[in-house]
Amino acid sequence: MKELTNDMPKSCLELWGKRLIDWQLEAIRNVGIREIAIVTGYRREFLQLEGVTEFYNSNWSKTNMVSSLMMAKPWLESDDCIISYSDIFYTERAVSALLNDNYSFSVAYTTHFMDLWSQRFSDPLVDLETFKLSENNLIKEIGGIPTVTSEIEGQFAGLFKVNPKSWNKIKQFLNMQLESYIAKLDVTSLLSLLIKNHFDISGVPIEETWLEVDTPLDLTLYNSWTNNH
């Protein structure tokens, strides 16, 4: 995000006059969730949020998403948790869809990816990743490099739900990996590894507005739209 995040985390960038993190908190609270935590790292002082528990990844500059996720293990080990990236926009309907899914491990995906990526990239395949579902809506592939659009049935939305039983299995899997490997591991790569190791992960479609902010151009594009989510 270049100069836009020189002084603040990406989650504090404004979309339609409100910070991304505040849009997320609104969506989460609107479905009745009150126990909320955030894993902080870079410029944590911007993310001291009322009513929100903080887990701090002091090694944020040398680690990736999975290491940050593991900071929240006291919660992940004790109750069902919905996990969200902090650089995305979604509505309460996306959160409700995950809450209402009965699987112990559920991953949200956006169905309107081609229209969005076509506005963000001259060639959407440059950035899109493979996402394939089985007949019973379990994810059978995620995060690969597609060669044709038929390999893309959705895009991971940066939102997922796990219960303590599933988290324990994930933790056991991670305990078998080198610490240096985990430090570099992102969530999509973790999901891909788990699927290849026969984890059942449910795909939950998100039909309504969903956005990710990866570049300054993304933010400019979205802010040029009318907020009618």
Q: How high is the pLDDT of residue 59?
A: 98
Across 56-65, average pLDDT: 98
Domain membership flag for residue 1 = no
Domain membership flag for residue 103 = yes
Where residue 47 sits, what CATH number does that domain have? 3.90.550.10
Give the strand pairing for 139-142 and 36-40: unpaired
d(CA 68, CA 186): 10
Mean pLDDT score across all residues of the chain: 97
Domain membership flag for residue 229 = no
pLDDT band at 229 (very low <50, low <70, confident <90, very high): low
Domain membership flag for residue 157 = yes
Q: In terms of residues, how long is the chain?
A: 229
Q: Which domain holds residue 173?
A: 6-223
Domain membership flag for residue 117 = yes
Domain membership flag for residue 82 = yes
Share of the chain above pLDDT 70, in %: 99
pLDDT band at 226 (very low <50, low <70, confident <90, very high): confident
Q: How high is the pLDDT of residue 84?
A: 99
Q: Looking at the 3D structure of the chain, how many domains does it have?
A: 1
pLDDT band at 228 (very low <50, low <70, confident <90, very high): low
Contact 202, 106 (CB under 8 A): yes
The SS3 of residue 44 is helix
Question: What's the Cα-to-Cα distance from 139 to each of 98, 107, 195, rounded to whole Å?
Answer: 15, 8, 7
Sign of CA dihedral 150, 101, 24, 65: negative
What's the pTM? 0.95
Contact 65, 79 (CB under 8 A): no
Contact 156, 143 (CB under 8 A): yes
Domain membership flag for residue 228 = no
